Amino acid sequence: MSAAITRLTLALQQVKYPGYTFHFQHDVAEAYGNTLFLRASFLSEDVKTKRVERQFTRKWLLSEHMTNSELVLLCAQGQNTAGGRVDRRATQRVEGMAP
C-alpha cells in the first residue's frame, strides 16, 4: 500500500480548492483494518459558538487501486458535501488575502 500512498500523495498535492486543506488520515481500526482516509478541513462559523473555527468534512475511505482522477473527483465531492461554505472573511483574515 505504500506505493499507492506515495502516488495518491503526489496527486493530492495538485488539488487546490480555495479555503480547503486536504489530508490523508491513516487509521488502524477493527472495522476497516489498516486503511487510509481522505479528509478536508476549512474555516467557517461554528453553528453553536458562532466563532470562526476549523471545521472538518467526513472521512472518505480510499482504495489503493483508485486512480488519480478518482481522488480528484473525491476531493470535489468532499468540498461539495461541506456545502462549499467556506467563510471568505475567515480565509482573508487568516491567509492575509485581500477582500
Name the one residue in this structure whose C-alpha cell is 482504495: 63
The residue among 84 and 54 whose pLDDT is bigger is 54
Query: What is the Cα–Cα distance from 58 to 47, expressed in whole angstroms?
Result: 17
Q: pLDDT by residue (tens digit) across 56-88?
A: 888 888 888 888 888 888 888 766 666 555 444
Q: In whole angstroms, what separates CA 86 from the centre of its chain?
A: 13
Query: What is the Cα–Cα distance from 45 to 55, expressed in whole angstroms?
Result: 8
Return the C-alpha cell found at 90.
475567515
The residue among 15 and 28 whose pLDDT is bigger is 15
Threshold 0.95, pTM exceeds: no
> Are 8 and 24 spatial neighbours (Cβ–Cβ below 8 Å)?
yes
3-state secondary structure of 43: strand
Nearest to 54 by CA among 95, 90, 23: 90
53 confidence band (pLDDT: 50, 70, 90): very high
